[in-house]
Structure 1
Amino acid sequence: MAQQDIVKLLCNGYVIPAPRNYEDFKYALEHSSNPSLSLLFGDINILPELLVKAREYKKRILVHLDLLGGFGKDKAGIVFLARMGVAAVITTKPQLGKLAREAGMLVIHRLFLMDSEAIKTGVNLLKGYKPDALELLPASVPASVVAELGGMTGLPILGGGLMHSKEDIEMAVRSGLSAVSASKRELWEPFGKG
């Protein structure tokens, strides 16, 4: 799938809403025109209800595997999520990303950047495993880092974390990020791409 196609699956502007609780999730369903939501809360007990509600609003849920409680973080757990209808996952763990790819899910690999050694480590994690996109945290990384990782991986580069205003998002996009995830409701409406 082409980079632009992946980004269009995730958002219709530059922002992927990232609700941290049920109230924000409901708000995103009812008030955001984005096609996907990045789920930053929940467990295996509430996930079926969230998936049903998302389908009602024709939205895709990106399940953050590292934040989802109560499921086995192994092949059986990943297959279970795929059978439940989870179409996309976010993870920091390559082994879970590989399993999700095998189960037919879209995979976003999340990479925390604290220094240049983290870039090398992150790229090494991706050897033998190709996610659909890479999400950098924080989203306020320099343009040179975005360009370097884009060139090294050939993946669309997303960002997450520390987005407090539309100006922050505009700066992140100017640095080369294809889109950002944001947990603040006021940032969820699309802007920029027209």
Structure 2
Amino acid sequence: MRTQAELARRKKELLEFFYDSTERCPVIAAVKNDEWLEKSSSSVCEIVYVLYGNICTIRDIVHEIKKAGKMAVVHIDLISGLASKEISVDFIRKFTEADGIISTKPHLIKRANELGLFTIQRFFMLDTITFNNIKKHVRDTRPDVVEMMPAGLGKMIRYALEEVDGKPLVASGLVLDSDDVMGALSAGAIAVSTTNLEVWKSVE
């Protein structure tokens, strides 16, 4: 069992790696199958989101990412066999090499923080009610990074940056080309995550 000091130090290291990595390459590879996983390993993207898998395969999927020297972040809401309960975060922490998780669920983000995992809280900008609740959720859960979907809402990104308590913001979803990446970055996003393989290549 790691001490609180060790967990805090690990979190600091992960956040520093995240900042350094996104400065070198602002595109985050999001993988949905084994073929994309293999392509992500040879891409210049230094951070990989895992958007697929189950309790039997997630360990090996994460291992492949770590073997390639990249940061592995598991979208825990999308892993088959994991319930929407804190014990699922414990499973990821104990049985995989994952550096962190993504989730839309505040209680999972809180538990991941307690375990020293890197945390990304994802928000879908469906309406103004969702947008107006961002600040409350971020202050309550204290994620390391906030992710907003879709990525193409430059004006919304600028407004959101005022609501996230200084947290770095990643844009995601409907990233069609490198212009969408540049638009999100120009609006203030620190990075863009995408499943679009052509966009991965555009930053090489």
**Superposition TM-score, scaled by structure 2 size:** 0.84
Secondary structure at 2:192's aligned position in 1?
strand
More helix by share: 2
Secondary structure at 2:24's aligned position in 1?
coil
Aligned-pair distance for 1:32? 0.7
Q: Is the 8 A contact 1:161 1:181 kept in 2?
A: yes
Match of 2:25 in 1: 13
1:95 aligns with 2:71: no
Looking at structure 1, the residues matched to 16 and 88 of structure 2 have their Cα atoms a distance apart, in angstroms, of 30
Q: Is the 8 A contact 1:16 1:179 kept in 2?
A: yes
Secondary structure at 2:59's aligned position in 1?
helix
Looking at structure 2, the residues matched to 10 and 96 of structure 1 have their Cα atoms a distance apart, in angstroms, of 24
Taking a change above 3 Å as real, the CA distance of residues 182 and 109 of structure 1, as seen in their structure-2 partners, is same
Aligned-pair distance for 1:124? 2.3
Q: Is the 8 A contact 1:11 1:35 kept in 2?
A: no
Instruction: State the Cα RMSD in Å.
Output: 2.1
| Residue-pair matches, total | 190
Secondary structure at 1:127's aligned position in 2?
helix
Looking at structure 2, the residues matched to 129 and 7 of structure 1 have their Cα atoms a distance apart, in angstroms, of 20
1:39 aligns with 2:55: no
Q: Could you tell me which of 152, 155, 160 is aligned with 2:172?
A: 160
Taking a change above 3 Å as real, the CA distance of residues 190 and 107 of structure 1, as seen in their structure-2 partners, is farther
Looking at structure 1, the residues matched to 64 and 124 of structure 2 have their Cα atoms a distance apart, in angstroms, of 31
Amino acid at match of 1:52: H
Q: How high is the sequence identity, in percent, across the aligned residues?
A: 24
Aligned-pair distance for 1:9? 4.4
Match of 1:79 in 2: 90
Aligned-pair distance for 1:11? 6.8
Aligned-pair distance for 1:89? 0.6
**Superposition TM-score, scaled by structure 1 size:** 0.89
Looking at structure 2, the residues matched to 9 and 177 of structure 1 have their Cα atoms a distance apart, in angstroms, of 14
Aligned-pair distance for 1:33? 2.2
Match of 2:161 in 1: 150
Match of 2:182 in 1: 170
Taking a change above 3 Å as real, the CA distance of residues 134 and 40 of structure 1, as seen in their structure-2 partners, is same
Amino acid at match of 1:43: N
Structure 1 unaligned segments of length 5 or more: list them. Answer: none
Q: Which moved more, 1:132-141 or 1:7-16?
A: 7-16
Taking a change above 3 Å as real, the CA distance of residues 70 and 177 of structure 1, as seen in their structure-2 partners, is same
Aligned-pair distance for 1:5? 5.2
